[in-house]
Amino acid sequence: MARKRTVAQLPFRIPPILLEGDESGAPTPAMGPGQKYALGPAAPTGHFEIEAPQLPEAYGTRTLLLTAREPHWLYAHWDISREEQRQYSGLAAGQHLVLRVYERGVSGSPTAQIHLHPDSRHWSVYVPRAETPYVAELGYSLPGGLWQRLATSEVATTPPDAVSQDTSVRFATVEAPAAAPAAPIPRPARPAPTRQPSSEPEAPSGPRPQELPPSTPQANWEPSPGKPAPGPEQAGVVPQPAELLLPHPLRVECRGSSVEGRGSRVEVLSQLAEPLLPHLEGNIGSQAAEELGLPSLAGAEAGITSPGMTAVPAGAREEPPEVFWFNINAELVLYGATEPDAQVAIAGQPIHLRPDGTFSYRFALPDGNYDLLATAISAHDDRRQVRLQFSRHTD
Amino acid sequence: MQGYLSLVLHAHLPFVRHPEHEKFLEENWLFEAITETYVPLLQLLGRWQQEGLNLRLTLTLTPTLCAMLQDRLLQERYVRHSEGLIELAEKETHRTRWEPAFHDLARFYLERFNRTREFYFACQGGLVGAFRAFQDQGRIEIITSTATHALLPLLAAHPPSVRAQILAARDHYRGCFGRDPRGIWLPECAYVQEVEPALLEANLRWFILESHGLLRARPRPCFALFAPILTPNGIAVFGRDLDSARQVWSRQGGYPGDPRYRDFYRDAGFDLDFDYVKPHLPGVDKRGFTGIKYHRITGPGPHKEAYDRQAALQTADAHASHFLEARLAQIRPLAETMDRPPLLVCPYDAELFGHWWYEGPEFLDSLAHRACADPQGLALITPADYLGRHPANQVAAPAASSWGEGGYWQVWLNEKNQWLYPHLHFAQQRMTELARRFRQPGPLQARALRQAARELLLAQASDWPFILRTGSSPDYARKRPTEHLLRFTALYDQLSKGQLDQPWLAQIEWRDNLFPDIDYRYWT
């Protein structure tokens, strides 16, 4: 009996681009170190009014924009209104537009041909070669098979996806950038002692200032009301096209031959990159994906908690535990009023009065017995005091 | 000395200023960063100077961040914010009276917030000037970035926009620091060769790329990441070190995720009674961060223990020691092979230290002291210092790359944010059209042209597509570029028709007031 041959299963990997925009199934609780621009465990909403005007749907230029987003992905967008797109699609065999991508120039067979969804006005295209210029065409095929071009893009070159095989070495010397005026840095007479982690920077002493000084001219800016912008003719400078390079201020010398003459030393030096390459090839972006401050899974809803507990706060929303749970806490609020210029202390600690002489203070209340003395002294040295006694016990 | 270590801190925030609101939630990004990162960093620099530590640090201060730090309205709002923090901390010292662990923390925060406020007043609110002083004394090198942190590869199809972002940044740097910048932080370390002409025009001499930007250069760099290369145009390019990045940045297993460190998300603004904490919340009638946090990371689950400040500081010190030992172990075999001391370039977002990772400044402090205590180990220098010591470097063309997820531009061009780009494309073309058409504008036209330039720059900020991708404040990230593009389009239409709405122009000048002397001709 013939042995049943098993076909090796090729590992299937969904291209990450197909997963873009998908939210994760389970929200990740926000915890740990912070992230860039985080304003809370979840994104804030509804804290300002969104004004009505919207950006235009299209600008009517019928332009095709092409960007090389990664070594093997291009992004294309076309400036055609939905109405125009429907009209052109209606003329096409297949009733849709087509995006063609060519290597280096529009000639021969396209590297990729995308039959576009009738409502799409942008597309990401996979291309096989990195470090290659591509150009795209947007158009449609007429019923007879003729190609009708609507727009052609500028060239977009994909980044390289591998280290160069060119290991030649050429050195050059440039003027060093002008260093910052270097004040002589005194060397310590002996090595600095091992740091003890408990110290904090000293605060400046003196009375506490209440206001910033008057603003400097830089801080307070107003538009120049009547001063015209000098034209280039007035400044004596002819404007240069952006593409014309200004003379390079650096002095560049080449001394390639002396380096090539080092022979085996150059070979040894060129091996410095080798240990880094496996890490690099496997980890571009994946390390970055782990990093603080970079996009992560959507945050969880913030749990509204009660204060002051070392354990999970009361009311916190967590993953559903296996048993029914019930958290409760208690706080004490002391509030009162006196003459606005009186001095009030609770348990010996001065408190601030509101301008009308009222006050309100909260106290976390763990289990225990409490004896609290509140005192008030008027501006004429009249004194009043109140003793409050209470307790909390949790069963 | 076995090698060099370049610590590069990139301080950036998008321009967020809302004079039309009494209080605005997203302005809190600035206030939190001032309290937890920028003031602590200045305090560290001051202490290092007093102690005579022999080190130099590189710091980016982006134009938008500088503009906000120097803005009078935001300075006053920060003072109000810090006073609110002090008031809340004071109340907390009462509220936690019978909870010793939290009471100690409340007193810690009260003292800390008071010191921060006093420091801010000692600088008279001029944090940019304070950083400038350290540069003038040779303690740090401040580098620039693009005007509004635009991702240059996505602007590269319109060279005037690349040029304007870079030259406007250079001009702003001159105003802040009294000199020209020599280094630039390319936003997100995003690079394509097409950005170099503008860098040359601004006389910018060096920048940093993600590791594969250097390792995939052509020809292959013979020193890998451990020395810079020179582009064929003569600009020096440094590569981010992989190992040091992972140890600090990684959410899984990196230092900031240690369970003894303070948990960023477990904030009193979400824990305490709403009516009690409401006056101190960053937004109006919505919970948010206050900056008072009582818990440590503890573990992967929702249970959080009380934050132990001393244990956290000891951990930061231990991590600094570990980091330094790891770098020395990394350097030693390289030093034997290379004909010059190897260089490790370690760039991080500045806000990591103190804001996202509360103990980050203490980590830096310990690292600085340990490194300086070992003259035979690593010298802490700037990339420019390195070029001064080693001006001869290999010529190679770097590879297009970024330090974003995926290594290219996916973070800023995907399903969540791709809608922006066609609008930016056409606005950019229109700006060039305006710049070429109005060679000799009248006073009102000149104002409108400058404001159009500001609105376009603000729309181009990479922060908006980033936030749309991360989802941290998507409504705001959608609103901002939309508003700027609509204002730009209105200015374009008004200039084209010769019908400028002066009161409306004055209003948007008041709202979007950065770069007062922007030169719209950069878009020519």
Q: Note the pLDDT of residue A395.
A: 82
Q: Note the pLDDT of residue A178.
A: 59
In SS3 terms, B313-330 reads as: HHHHHHHHHHHHHHHHHH
Q: At residue A46, what is the residue type?
A: G
- State whether residue A295 sits within 8 Å of chain B by CB: yes
Integer Cα distance of A252 and A313 in angstroms? 65
3-state class of A76 per DSSP?
strand
Q: Note the pLDDT of residue A36.
A: 87
Interface test with A, best of B222, B298, B505 (most A CBs within 10 A): B222
Q: Is the ipTM of this complex over 0.85?
A: yes
Q: Note the pLDDT of residue A248.
A: 35
Interface test with B, best of A22, A24, A36 (most B CBs within 10 A): A36
Beta bridge partners of B348: B9
Q: At residue A35, what is the residue type?
A: Q
Using the beta-carbon criterion (under 8 Å), do B393 and A298 form an inter-chain contact? no
Q: Comparing A25 with B166, which gets the higher pLDDT? A: B166
Integer Cα distance of B83 and A274 in angstroms? 55
Tell me the CA distances in angstroms from B109 to B35, B98, B483, one per residue in order.
11, 17, 38
Helix (H) or strand (E) holding B167: helix B159-177
Q: Note the pLDDT of residue A257.
A: 30
Min CA distance, B469 vs chain A (Å)? Answer: 7
Query: A155: exposed, middle or buried (C-beta count within 10 Å: 0-12, 13-18, 19+)?
Result: middle
Using the beta-carbon criterion (under 8 Å), do B392 and A246 form an inter-chain contact? no
- CA nearest to B467 within chain A: A37
Tell me the CA distances in angstroms from B277 to A346, B111, B267, B298, one per residue in order.
20, 19, 11, 25
Of A181, A239, A243, the CB nearest to B521: A239
In SS3 terms, A282-313 reads as: HHCCHHHHHECCCCCCCECCCCCCCCCCCCCC
Q: Note the pLDDT of residue A15.
A: 61
Q: At residue B186, what is the residue type?
A: L
Interface test with B, best of A233, A258, A310 (most B CBs within 10 A): A310
- B246-B249-B252-B258 Cα dihedral, nearest 10 degrees: 110
Q: Note the pLDDT of residue A5.
A: 46
Q: What is the pLDDT of residues A379-391, one digit of tens each?
A: 999 999 999 998 8
Query: Both tokens of residue A158?
Result: 């994909």
Min CA distance, A1 vs chain B (Å)? Answer: 51
Which residues in chain A are closer than 8 Å to B475, comparing Cβ atoms?
Answer: 43-48, 50
Q: At residue B375, what is the residue type?
A: P
- CA nearest to B175 within chain A: A218
Give the HSE-up count for residue A125: Cα atoms under 13 Å, Cβ half-sphere.
34
Q: What is the mean pLDDT of chain A?
A: 69
Q: Note the pLDDT of residue B450.
A: 98
Can you tell me which residue has the tokens 């070159």? A157
B463: pLDDT strictly greater than 50: yes
B305: pLDDT strictly greater than 90: yes
B140 and B56 Cβ atoms separated by less than 8 Å: yes
Using the beta-carbon criterion (under 8 Å), do B40 and A351 form an inter-chain contact? no
Identify the top-confidence range among A195-199, A209-213, A291-295, B300-304: B300-304
Using the beta-carbon criterion (under 8 Å), do B356 and A35 form an inter-chain contact? yes
Using the beta-carbon criterion (under 8 Å), do B387 and A290 form an inter-chain contact? no
- State whether residue B24 sits within 8 Å of chain A by CB: yes
Using the beta-carbon criterion (under 8 Å), do B415 and A21 form an inter-chain contact? yes
- State whether residue A2 sits within 8 Å of chain B by CB: no
* Rg (alpha carbons) of chain B, rounded to whole number: 23
> What is the percentage of chain A residues whose pLDDT exceeds 70?
55
* Rg (alpha carbons) of chain A, rounded to whole number: 36
Integer Cα distance of B185 and A220 in angstroms? 27
Q: Note the pLDDT of residue A253.
A: 38
A143: pLDDT strictly greater than 90: no
Measured between its terminal Cα atoms, the distance across chain A in Å is: 76
A344 and A337 Cβ atoms separated by less than 8 Å: no
Using the beta-carbon criterion (under 8 Å), do A272 and B385 form an inter-chain contact? no
Integer Cα distance of B48 and A299 in angstroms? 39
In SS3 terms, A81-149 reads as: CHHHHHHHHHHCCCCCCEEEEEECCCCCCCCEEEECCCCCCEEEEECCCCCCEEEEEEEEECCCCCEEE
Mean pLDDT to the nearest integer, B493-505: 97
Residue B333 makes CB contacts below 8 A (sequence gap 6+) with none
Given the DSSP bridges, would you call strands B229-230 and B392-395 parallel, antiparallel or unpaired? parallel
A311: pLDDT strictly greater than 60: no
Residue closest to B384 by CA, chosen among B186, B207, B136, B197: B207
- State whether residue B476 sits within 8 Å of chain A by CB: yes
Q: Note the pLDDT of residue B279.
A: 92
- DSSP code for A13: -
A122 and A77 Cβ atoms separated by less than 8 Å: yes
A322: pLDDT strictly greater than 70: no
3-state class of B112 per DSSP?
helix
B213 and B401 Cβ atoms separated by less than 8 Å: yes
Q: Comparing A297 with B106, which gets the higher pLDDT? A: B106
Which residues in chain B are closer than 8 Å to A218, comparing Cβ atoms?
Answer: 70, 175
Mean pLDDT to the nearest integer, B384-410: 96
- State whether residue A393 sits within 8 Å of chain B by CB: no
Q: Note the pLDDT of residue A317.
A: 42
pTM, to two decimals: 0.84
| b/e burial code for range A70-108 (CB count within 10 A of at least 16 → b) | bbbbbbbbbbbeeeebeebbeebeeebbbbbbbbeeeee
Q: Note the pLDDT of residue A326.
A: 81
**Chain center to CA of B394:** 30
From chain B residues 143-182, the ones with a CB under 8 A of any chain A CB are 154, 157, 159-160, 163, 175, 182
Helix (H) or strand (E) holding B144: strand B140-145
Can you tell me which residue has the tokens 């000037």? B129
A200: pLDDT strictly greater than 80: no
- CA nearest to A283 within chain B: B406
Using the beta-carbon criterion (under 8 Å), do A177 and B394 form an inter-chain contact? no
Q: What is the pLDDT of residues A85-102, one digit of tens each?
A: 999 999 999 899 999 999
Query: Both tokens of residue B467?
Result: 């936030």
Mean pLDDT to the nearest integer, A117-133: 94
Q: What is the pLDDT of residues B44-59, one digit of tens each?
A: 999 999 999 999 999 9
Q: What is the pLDDT of residues A29-59, one digit of tens each?
A: 588 888 888 888 888 877 777 665 789 989 9
Residue B89 makes CB contacts below 8 A (sequence gap 6+) with B106, B109, B110, B113, B292
Query: Both tokens of residue B37?
Result: 């990162």
Integer Cα distance of B353 and B357 in angstroms? 5
Mean pLDDT to the nearest integer, A209-231: 46
Min CA distance, B416 vs chain A (Å)? Answer: 6
Which residues in chain B are closer than 8 Å to A188, comparing Cβ atoms?
Answer: 51-54, 372
Residue closest to B210 by CA, chosen among B379, B348, B65, B385: B348
Using the beta-carbon criterion (under 8 Å), do A172 and B395 form an inter-chain contact? yes
- State whether residue B353 sits within 8 Å of chain A by CB: no
B11: pLDDT strictly greater than 50: yes
Min CA distance, B513 vs chain A (Å)? Answer: 7
- A43-A49-A51-A54 Cα dihedral, nearest 10 degrees: 20
- State whether residue A219 sits within 8 Å of chain B by CB: yes
A277: pLDDT strictly greater than 70: no
B93: pLDDT strictly greater than 50: yes
- DSSP code for B34: I
Integer Cα distance of B231 and B223 in angstroms? 15
Band of pLDDT at residue A218, cut at 50, 70 and 90: very low
Helix (H) or strand (E) holding B8: strand B3-11
- State whether residue B443 sits within 8 Å of chain A by CB: yes
Residue closest to B504 by CA, chosen among B448, B463, B466: B448
Neighbours of A382 (CB within 10 A): 10
Q: At residue B515, what is the residue type?
A: F
Give the HSE-up count for residue B440: Cα atoms under 13 Å, Cβ half-sphere.
3
In B382-452, where do the E strands start and end?
392-395
A105: pLDDT strictly greater than 50: yes
Band of pLDDT at residue A145, cut at 50, 70 and 90: confident
Helix (H) or strand (E) holding B243: helix B242-249
Which residues in chain A are closer than 8 Å to B269, comparing Cβ atoms?
Answer: 40
Size of interface A-B (CB pairs under 8 A): 523
- State whether residue A33 sits within 8 Å of chain B by CB: yes
- State whether residue A60 sits within 8 Å of chain B by CB: no
Longest distance between any two alpha carbons in chain B, whole Å: 72
A207: pLDDT strictly greater than 70: no
